[in-house]
Amino acid sequence: MALRLDVLTLFPGIFSGFLAESIPRIAVEKKAVEVRLHNIRAWSADKHAKVDDRPFGGGPGMVMTCQPLVDAVEAALAMRSPPGRLVFLTPEGRRFDQQLAGELSREERLILVCGRYEGFDERVFELLKPERLSIGDFVLSGGEVAAMAVMDAVIRLLPGVLGSAESAASDSFANGVLDHPHYTQPPEFRGLAVPEVLRGGNHAWIDAWRREQALARTRRFRPDLPR
Ligand code: ADE
């Protein structure tokens, strides 16, 4: 069954190029995922369709107001059963990683909520009790790019999306280590040759070489990763 993905944002247009190209597009065409974009502004009860206001206590920037957001989320939750996993993209969230991508790819339904401005009114979290996810310790101007990162990592893991099941199974982080190096044609480029073992056709040797290279690269580039 397809993963149903609802995205709540003030800027649905940001997603159109992403969904129209490459793997996300293939996943939509193959009906591995069904993506629905919802404009939070459409739920604003304000006559000028306002969605933000100045922060209580003062300070720079604007805060997204409760009403449009809570109504939009409740409408999305009610659109189909089961209600699904509700995720807000925000820098204070749990750090997203490959393990969580795998977990989310096994859900029937995900609702991703993107913030703008200085963030969400904190009461939204008390009311909706969502999960908070961050893609790293830096601040984006909105959750949309973070939502696309999460969507991309999840979508490529859905059954039938990549060419072969091994493609995802051998990715970096899938086994707690980085991926092994890759080579293609030509056999020599500017004096640099493809390692001999890869051209020899002995698959046991190739597998052993790749495992060893993956471990060496993990030790060198990411000594912090579990192995
Ligand atoms: N919104 C702004 N910055 C973000 C981040 N690093 N991760 C997720 N959502 C965000």
Provide the pLDDT for residue 166.
61
Average pLDDT, the chain: 95
Provide the pLDDT for residue 136: 98
Task: Give pLDDT, residue 183.
Answer: 98
Does residue 150 have its Cβ closer than 6 Å to ligand 1? no
Tell me the pairing of strands 85-95 and 131-134. Answer: parallel
139 Cβ below 6 A of ligand 1: yes
User: Given this model, what pLDDT does residue 3 score?
Assistant: 97
**Best residue for ligand 1 mutational test, from 10, 63, 135 (most atoms within 8 Å of Cβ):** 135
Residue 197 token pair: 């073992």
Q: d(Cα 42, Cα 79) in Å, to the nearest integer?
A: 16
Q: Is the pLDDT score of 127 beyond 70? A: yes
82-103: average pLDDT? 95
Domains of the chain plus CATH, in order, are 3-155 (3.40.1280.10), 170-221 (1.10.1270.20)
Stretch 55-63: mean pLDDT: 97
With the most atoms of ligand 1 within 8 angstroms of its CB, the residue from 8, 9, 87, 90 to mutate is: 90
Q: Whose CA is nearest to atom 10 of ligand 1?
A: 90
Residue-wise pLDDT for 30-50, tens only, equals 999 999 999 999 999 999 999
Share of the chain above pLDDT 90, in %: 89
Instruction: Give how far Cα 14 sits from Cα of 11, 18, 71, 146, Å.
Output: 6, 8, 22, 12
**In angstroms, what is the span from residue 135 Cα to ligand 1's centroid?**
6
Q: Identify whether the C-beta of residue 207 lies closer than 8 Å to the C-beta of residue 200.
A: no
Q: What's the pLDDT score for residue 227?
A: 67
Using one digit for the tens of pLDDT, what is the confidence trace for 158-207? 999 998 666 777 778 877 899 999 999 999 999 999 999 999 999 999 99
